[in-house]
Amino acid sequence: MTHVPMPPQPDAVPAPFPLFLDLSGATVLVVGGNDAAAAKCRLLLPSGAAVRVVDPAPGQAVEDLAAEERITLLRRAFMPADLQAARLCYVALESAEEAAWVVAEARRQGVLVNAVDRPALCDFTTPAMVRRGPVAVAIATAGIAPALARDLRARIEAAVPPAFGTLAAFCARWRSRVARALPDRDQRRHLWDAVLDGDEAAAILDRGSVAAADSAMATRLAHAGTVPNRGRASLVGAGPGDPELLTLKALRVLNRADVVLYDKLVDPRVLDLARRDARRIDVGKRCGRHSMSQAAINALLLREVQAGAHVVRLKGGDPFVFGRGGEELEALRAAGAEVEVVPGITAALAAAARLGVPLTHRGIARSLHLITAHGADHALPAHDWRALAASGGTLAVYMGARNLPGVATALLKAGMPADTPAIAIENASLPTERRIPANLSEIADAVAVAGVEGPTLMLIGAVVALAETAAVPARIVQRHAA
């Protein structure tokens, strides 16, 4: 019997800490006059920096910038005094020895320095940037993969329309008026969220009409603050774990949340996508018990909504697939609260996709059944096992690791063949995903031997056999269980 672990992940590279510097009028020194130096000059000029270049024999590109009076050019060798009053220093020299000397001098004088194509000599890296007027998007890879940064820049360039610059300028023009009308910070943030989701942004991004945006904004601001802010709740499916499987709507809602209530099955990488200043409340299971009862979670949801907050209840998978989302929806509706549901990709769909297994397949599986193996007091639920065994479909068994022996026994007694293909998937879609294939009569023993600890889903049915011929990534290495 085998189980298939996912490959080990490479050691993490520390992420750079991004900052946007106001360089307007500040001196930036560029040591060197080659094409790389000219490229840094062109990158710096839109920031309003006073760029000073030092080189005894600059190239034509640098000479052209000097002739256009866009930079100050000193046609001589670098001297330590050149660093006086400099905010930043770029070093674009061919000689590694000379570059190291300039870097050492800059550091001695407390000037942040970047040596082009020499990561070990850099105090900072220059990100790839996408500019839309006053909006700047920076992409950094800690200096180890500049080609990847350029690729991401191209993708963002294609995804962010030029009109975002106009939208940013629109927001800047109205900012002081909004601040005067709404002294409360939370009120201002809610208004701006509504603007970006509303007619103002649509007028600029879809129709290119700043006048229509101004009219809509004037109307909105005239009524702002006249009624108390009404809270609302969003029941959001976080998917099986992989952040890339989060829906676009879920991401947008997370970025608007004041409070996020999350459970154990939510991957931390998904939680990190929430607004940084949103309050995060862990209401998940810990150490075999719930830190909050469902009644307490419902009460907390209502309390935060009634206080005027936008509350996101972030749940692993889909809120309505064994997630008690229905109970929370009922409680919110009963109290008259505004509530929306944002579906998520449930584990069965993600696991099957990774395996290359169609959950339904013409001539093999005519139906799909999602069941739980976790009943009251952890007992096996009283499903109609005979009907499930006779369905000829695929079974997706959630929360089944503990009660898998009971599930297998019940299906075998109900007449499902012992050699029916089955597979257990632990931590579906995560880097720690493990796959444990067997047949129905042996799957419980195989899972016990593997010692699964994470959330585990079982797929049972004839379609599981197709995983053997499906395109499984070559990096997956099989190892045999004892």
**Per-residue b or e along 303-316, where b marks 16 or more CB atoms closer than 10 Å to that residue's CB:** ebbeeebbbbbbbb
Looking at residue 334, its pLDDT comes to 94
Alpha-carbon distance of 71 to 26, in angstroms, equals 13
Q: Point out the catalytic residue in the list 285, 384, 413, 419.
A: 285
Q: What is the average pLDDT across 221-238? A: 82
What is the per-residue pLDDT across 207-226, written as a single tens digit (0 to 9) for each? 899 999 999 999 999 888 66
The CATH number corresponding to 232-345 among 1.20.1340.10, 3.40.1010.10, 3.90.1150.170, 3.30.1490.190 equals 3.40.1010.10
Q: Is 384 exposed, middle or buried (0-12, 13-18, 19+ CB in 10 A)?
A: exposed
- The CATH fold assigned to 348-480 is 3.30.950
Q: Of 380, 375, 360, 472, which Cα lies nearest the Cα of 425?
A: 472
Question: Confidence band (pLDDT; 50, 70, 90) for 291?
Answer: low
Inter-CA distances, 479 with 1, 3, 382, 443, 482, Å: 9, 6, 36, 16, 10
Percentage of residues in the chain having pLDDT higher than 70:
91
285 is catalytic: yes
Q: What is the average pLDDT across 254-283? A: 89
Question: Confidence band (pLDDT; 50, 70, 90) for 113?
Answer: very high
Looking at residue 348, its pLDDT comes to 94
Question: Confidence band (pLDDT; 50, 70, 90) for 97?
Answer: very high
CB distance 278 to 206 below 8 Å: no
Alpha-carbon distance of 84 to 10, in angstroms, equals 42
Percentage of residues in the chain having pLDDT higher than 90:
59
Looking at residue 479, its pLDDT comes to 27
What is the per-residue pLDDT across 46-86, written as a single tens digit (0 to 9) for each? 899 999 999 999 999 999 999 999 999 999 999 999 999 99
| Averaged confidence pLDDT in the chain | 87
Alpha-carbon distance of 222 to 237, in angstroms, equals 36
Kindly tell me if the per-residue pLDDT of 478 is higher than 70.
no
Alpha-carbon distance of 28 to 366, in angstroms, equals 68
Specify which residues 13 forms β-bridges with: none
Looking at residue 285, its pLDDT comes to 59
- pTM for this prediction: 0.66
Looking at residue 225, its pLDDT comes to 67
Alpha-carbon distance of 160 to 157, in angstroms, equals 6
Tokens of 200: 């103002």
Q: What is the average pLDDT across 422-426? A: 93
Q: What is the average pLDDT across 160-186? A: 90
263 is catalytic: yes
Is beta strand 86-91 parallel, antiparallel or unpaired with respect to 72-74? unpaired
* Pairwise pLDDT comparison (175 vs 4), residue with the higher score: 175
Looking at residue 265, its pLDDT comes to 82
Looking at residue 463, its pLDDT comes to 92
Question: Confidence band (pLDDT; 50, 70, 90) for 287?
Answer: very low
CB distance 240 to 345 below 8 Å: yes
Query: CB within 8 A of 127, min separation 6: which ones?
Result: 18, 138, 139, 140, 149
Query: CB within 8 A of 419, min separation 6: which ones?
Result: 439, 440, 441
Q: Of 253, 263, 258, which Cα lies nearest the Cα of 277?
A: 258
Tokens of 175: 């900012």
Neighbouring CB atoms inside 10 A of 3's CB total 23
Q: Point out the catalytic residue in the list 55, 242, 258, 263.
A: 263
CATH code, 27-126: 3.40.50.720
Kindly tell me if the per-residue pLDDT of 6 is higher than 50.
no
Alpha-carbon distance of 444 to 450, in angstroms, equals 10
* Pairwise pLDDT comparison (309 vs 288), residue with the higher score: 309
The 3-class secondary structure across the chain, one letter per residue, is CEEEECCCCCCCCCCCCCCCCCCCCCEEEEECCCHHHHHHHHHHHHHCCEEEEECCCCCHHHHHHHHCCCCEEECCCCCHHHHCCEEEEEECCCCHHHHHHHHHHHHHCCCEEEECCCHHHCCCCCCEEEEECCEEEEECCCCCCHHHHHHHHHHHHHHCCCHHHHHHHHHHHHHHHHHHHCCCHHHHHHHHHHHHHCHHHHHHHHHCCHHHHHHHHHHHHHHCCCCCCCCEEEEEECECCCHHHCCHHHHHHHCCCCEEEECCCCCHHHHCCCCCCCEEEECCEECCEECCCHHHHHHHHHHHHHCCCEEEEEECECCCCCCCHHHHHHHHHHCCCEEEEECCCCHHHHHHHHHCCCCCECCCECCEEEEECCCHHHCCCCCCHHHHHHCCCEEEEECCCCCHHHHHHHHHHCCCCCCCEEEEEECCCCCCCEEEEEECCCHHHHHHHHCCCCCEEEEECHHHHHHHCCCCCCCCCCEECC
CB distance 141 to 170 below 8 Å: no
Looking at residue 471, its pLDDT comes to 36
Neighbouring CB atoms inside 10 A of 478's CB total 11
Looking at residue 228, its pLDDT comes to 63
